[in-house]
């Protein structure tokens, strides 16, 4: 005969009921939070200036809150923006040039590598590279630190009640001071200048040392064409330069 300890059974049953109740409460809280965030007009906004926030990882820095700007449809990771648009996942790759030298997110003074300490941690190495940065291409900015910084961000908006893809461009105060001029060049075919457009960057909008401009007509990205968006010391004549060593200019671009 198996002896059953009724007290133990009662305790186990009570614990099981409590755990189920706690799981139910957790599920309710989580569901309510997910439901509230998208409907909160104070969080998701259409004004670009509201996406510029203090960077929690930098005392003097600010950041572009991509999560807020894109209604939680996009992330930025490893120099690319992933965007969920109309049931598709779009990937936009970011690159930059500093005086003709290509880079992804941070361009570091080449001479600094001669003084890079050995046997340091990855965090210490990153801090060293940041200390010797000459240009950055990320959503994190430190205005007035002497380093030009820029970033291009895709965003879904509505035109004639239809979803469209637009791009916001952010540059900081150092960018404005450093660049000899700043153009925006965009179009669907880099190998056909007749399909590319160019205009000056508009420095009249922004806040916290960050300037904002916008490109509206870029739906050709959805068609897989060979276009892109360039910002900086760039012009239609730049497309005629076939050798990287002859492209002595600084700019960022998205493809």
The predicted-structure confidence for 204-226, as pLDDT tens digits, reads as follows 998 999 999 999 988 788 887 77
Structural tokens at position 20:
């189920």
Among 109, 171, 113, 166, CA closest to 137: 171
Q: Give buried/exposed letters for 146-175 (b at 16+ CB in 10 A, else e).
A: ebbbbbbbbbbeeeeeeebbbbbbbbbbbb
Among 71, 101, 99, 105, CA closest to 85: 71
As a whole number, mean pLDDT of residues 103-130 equals 87
Confidence of residue 46 (pLDDT cuts 50, 70, 90): very high
pLDDT reported for residue 226: 78
pLDDT reported for residue 41: 58
Helix, strand, coil % (nearest 5) of the chain? 30, 35, 35
- Is residue 106 scored above 60 in pLDDT? yes
- Is residue 13 scored above 60 in pLDDT? no
Separation between Cα atoms, residue 65 and residue 248, nearest integer Å: 32
pLDDT reported for residue 136: 96
Total-model pTM: 0.81
Separation between Cα atoms, residue 231 and residue 83, nearest integer Å: 21
- Is residue 34 scored above 70 in pLDDT? no
- Is residue 28 scored above 80 in pLDDT? no
Structural tokens at position 186:
């965009």
In angstroms, what CA-CA distances link 9 with 12, 13, 16, 18?
A: 5, 6, 11, 14
pLDDT reported for residue 14: 43
Q: Pick the most confident of 158-162, 213-217, 231-235.
A: 231-235
- Is residue 184 scored above 60 in pLDDT? yes
In angstroms, what CA-CA distances link 120 with 58, 109, 116, 199?
A: 22, 19, 9, 45
**Residue 41 DSSP code:** T
pLDDT reported for residue 190: 85
Structural tokens at position 184:
């925006």
């Amino acid at each position: 005969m198996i002896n059953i300890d009724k007290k133990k059974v009662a305790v186990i049953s009570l614990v099981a009921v409590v755990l189920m109740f706690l799981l139910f409460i957790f599920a309710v809280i989580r569901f309510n939070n997910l439901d509230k965030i998208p409907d909160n007009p104070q969080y998701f906004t259409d004004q670009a200036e509201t996406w510029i926030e203090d960077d929690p990882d930098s005392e003097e820095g600010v950041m572009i809150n991509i999560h807020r700007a894109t209604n939680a449809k996009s992330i930025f990771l490893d120099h690319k923006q992933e965007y969920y648009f109309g049931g598709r996942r779009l990937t936009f790759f970011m690159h930059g040039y500093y005086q003709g030298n290509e880079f992804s997110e941070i361009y570091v003074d080449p001479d600094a590598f001669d003084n890079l300490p050995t046997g340091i941690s990855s965090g210490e190495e990153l801090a060293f590279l940041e200390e010797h940065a000459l240009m950055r291409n990320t959503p994190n900015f430190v205005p007035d630190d002497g380093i030009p910084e820029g970033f291009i961000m895709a965003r879904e908006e509505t035109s004639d009640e239809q979803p469209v893809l637009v791009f916001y461009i952010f540059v900081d105060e150092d960018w404005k001071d450093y660049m000899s001029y700043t153009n925006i060049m965009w179009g669907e075919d880099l190998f056909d200048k007749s399909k590319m457009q160019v205009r000056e960057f508009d420095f009249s909008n922004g806040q916290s040392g960050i300037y904002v401009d916008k490109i509206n007509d870029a739906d050709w990205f959805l068609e897989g064409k060979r276009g892109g968006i360039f910002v900086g010391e760039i012009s239609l004549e730049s497309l005629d330069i076939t050798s990287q060593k002859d492209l002595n200019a600084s700019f960022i671009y998205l493809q």
